[in-house]
């Protein structure tokens, strides 16, 4: 009997028992890593763009960006290792390269990003202490591969989640990737903007964060639309606020002059960072719930949701 001859599903489940297994991740650790990977990766990328356009004039911003990029290879990598159920074998992540596994690809991207970002940060540190050295020039070279790896760091984690059978992560692979990528750029701009004493550069960074948050907001609405389309929307809480709140704050700050503007900008940047972290952790938790609810996973696996050939 072919698929179309099958009687339609009447909506009943097997005693409400889960049909899928939720990921056995510690959502604080993995969500924390996804956030830090995005923050560090995008910070390296923005720093490189800043260095290319402003040069030595923006040296203080560049320095902070390069140090910020060290969060993922240090704290982030530690989160990942701690999340393993057999952490002493963490090095098995580098036994092979597997194109069908975003976790395998991501491990290699993390290594590449870690090596190039560490080199850039160390060169920065040394150049600040050895006057007249050529190290600054070398850092301008090493930052380029670091920035490219940073672009992948900001977004591969979304592919990692979408390449599973968890309904909420699999439902809208493209908009999830856009959300993670834009949120990464927003949090990097916000983090750089927080410590920025130069008013013009702070405004530039705030403008960039506003653009990224607007993209994130649009992609969040697109995700929710896709979830309704495939029939797995749980009618639950709206998640748009995590991007909308910092967006409104930062927009307001751009209209306000002087001290008031700076204060609201600080608030907006903190909200962007907090929203970025919360979005990652909530995505993990809500995905786990969707995997445990068989009425949603069985609905997601109906033929009308098959990719068009």
Partner 1 sequence: MEMHPRVSDHAASDLDRAIADEAELTAGIRIRPGRSYGFFTDTTLCIGCKACEVACKEWNNLPADGIGLTGHSYDNTTALSADSWRHVMFIEAGVRDDLAQPFQSGWLMMSDVCKHCHNAPCLEACPTGALFRTEFDTVVVQQDICNGCGYCVPACPFGVVDISLLDGKAHKCTLCYDRLKGGLEPACAKACPTDSIQFGELDELQERARRREADLHRRGVAGAYIYGAPGTPGATGGLGHLSAFFLLTATPETYNLPRAPTRPANRIAPSLAAGIATVFGLAVAALSLFTRSAER
Q: Which of 29, 34, 50, 272 binds partner 1 (CB under 8 A)?
A: 50
User: Do residues 165 and 224 touch, judged by C-beta distance below 8 A?
Assistant: no
Which residue lies nearer to partner 1 by CB, 185 or 271? 185
Helix and strand counts by DSSP (H, E) for the chain: 13, 0
Closest CA to 243 of 269, 265, 217, 218: 217
Residue 286 interacts with partner 1 (CB under 8 A): yes or no? no
Which residue lies nearer to partner 1 by CB, 15 or 259? 15
Task: Provide the 3-class DSSP secondary structure of residue 6.
Answer: coil
Q: Which of 117, 143, 162, 223 binds partner 1 (CB under 8 A)?
A: 162
Residue 96 interacts with partner 1 (CB under 8 A): yes or no? yes
Q: How many CB atoms lie within 10 A of CB 75?
A: 13
Q: Which of 65, 73, 76, 102 binds partner 1 (CB under 8 A)?
A: 102
User: Do residues 200 and 247 touch, judged by C-beta distance below 8 A?
Assistant: no
For every residue of 185-243, DSSP letters joined together read: HHHHHHHHHHT--SHHHHHHHHHHHHHHHHHHHHHHHHHHHHHHHTT--------THHH
- CB 92, min distance to partner 1, A: 4
Give the residue carrying structure tokens 């495939």: 230
Residue 229 interacts with partner 1 (CB under 8 A): yes or no? no
Residue 227 interacts with partner 1 (CB under 8 A): yes or no? no
Residue 169 interacts with partner 1 (CB under 8 A): yes or no? yes
Q: Which of 56, 132, 306, 308 binds partner 1 (CB under 8 A)?
A: 306
Residue 249 interacts with partner 1 (CB under 8 A): yes or no? no
Residue 85 interacts with partner 1 (CB under 8 A): yes or no? yes
Task: Provide the 3-class DSSP secondary structure of residue 255.
Answer: helix
Which among 116-124, 170-178, 224-232, 263-271 is the span making contact with partner 1, rule CB under 8 A?
170-178
- CB 132, min distance to partner 1, A: 25
**Token digits of residue 195:** 């410590």
Which among 66-74, 129-137, 164-172, 241-249 is the span making contact with partner 1, rule CB under 8 A?
164-172
Q: Which of 60, 75, 95, 256 binds partner 1 (CB under 8 A)?
A: 95
Residue 255 interacts with partner 1 (CB under 8 A): yes or no? no
Q: Which of 73, 116, 180, 275 binds partner 1 (CB under 8 A)?
A: 180
Near partner 1 in 108-147, by CB under 8 A: none
In sequence order, what are the residues at sequence separation of 6 or more whose Cβ sits closer than 8 angstroms to the Cβ of residue 14? Answer: 294
Give the residue carrying structure tokens 């070398």: 138
In sequence order, what are the residues at sequence separation of 6 or more whose Cβ sits closer than 8 angstroms to the Cβ of residue 190? Answer: 205, 209, 246, 268, 269, 270, 272, 273
Which among 120-128, 257-265, 270-278, 291-299 is the span making contact with partner 1, rule CB under 8 A?
291-299
């Amino acid at each position: 009997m072919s698929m179309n001859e099958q009687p339609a599903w009447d909506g009943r489940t097997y005693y409400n028992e889960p049909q899928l297994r939720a990921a056995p991740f510690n959502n604080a650790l993995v969500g924390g890593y996804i956030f830090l990977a995005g923050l560090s990766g995008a910070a390296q990328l923005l720093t490189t763009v800043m260095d290319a356009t402003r040069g030595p004039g923006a040296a203080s911003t560049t320095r902070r960006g390069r140090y910020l990029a060290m969060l993922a290879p240090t704290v982030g990598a530690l989160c990942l290792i701690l999340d393993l159920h057999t952490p002493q074998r963490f090095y098995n992540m580098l036994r092979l390269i597997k194109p069908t596994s975003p976790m395998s690809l991501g491990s290699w991207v993390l290594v590449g990003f870690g090596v190039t970002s560490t080199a850039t940060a160390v060169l920065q540190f040394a150049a600040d202490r050895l006057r007249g050295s050529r190290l600054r020039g070398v850092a301008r070279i090493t930052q380029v591969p670091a920035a490219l790896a940073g672009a992948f760091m900001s977004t591969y984690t979304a592919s990692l989640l979408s390449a599973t059978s968890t309904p909420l992560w699999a439902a809208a692979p493209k908009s999830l990737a856009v959300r993670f990528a834009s949120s990464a750029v927003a949090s990097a701009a916000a983090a750089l903007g927080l410590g920025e004493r130069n008013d013009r550069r702070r405004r530039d960074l705030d403008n960039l964060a506003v653009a990224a948050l607007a993209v994130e907001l649009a992609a969040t609405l697109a995700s929710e639309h896709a979830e309704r389309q495939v029939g797995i929307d749980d009618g639950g809480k709206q998640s748009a606020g995590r991007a909308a709140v910092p967006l409104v704050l930062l927009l307001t700050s751009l209209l306000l002059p002087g001290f008031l503007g700076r204060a609201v900008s600080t608030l907006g940047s903190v909200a962007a960072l907090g929203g970025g972290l919360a979005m990652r952790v909530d995505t993990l938790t809500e995905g786990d719930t969707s995997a445990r609810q068989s009425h949603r996973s069985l609905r997601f696996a109906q033929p009308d949701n098959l990719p068009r050939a």
